[in-house]
């Protein structure tokens, strides 16, 4: 099983495809995860100080 498939390959045995949709979706997921981590850090600082 391949992890990343190129657009021109004719296989169905893959996890991710190297195309624009996958790139946009992974960028969105990474951005949301970063925002969640920042939120946890800020809330931790807020609750420690109060």
Reply yes or no on whether the pLDDT at 50 is more than 90.
no
User: What does the pLDDT read at residue 33?
Assistant: 98
pLDDT at 31: 98
Asked if 19 contacts 5 with a C-beta cutoff of 8 angstroms, the reply is no
CA distance 6 to 41: 38
Helix (H) or strand (E) holding 29: helix 20-49
Q: What are phi and psi of 34, to 5 degrees?
A: -65, -45
Query: Tens digit of pLDDT for each residue in 2-45?
Result: 767 777 777 777 777 788 888 999 999 999 999 999 999 999 99
Residue appearing with tokens 């970063």? 34
């Amino acid at each position: 099983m391949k992890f990343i498939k190129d657009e021109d390959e004719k296989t169905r045995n893959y996890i991710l495809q190297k195309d624009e949709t996958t790139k946009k979706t992974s960028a969105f997921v990474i951005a949301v995860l970063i925002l969640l981590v920042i939120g946890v850090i800020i809330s931790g600082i807020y609750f420690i100080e109060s």
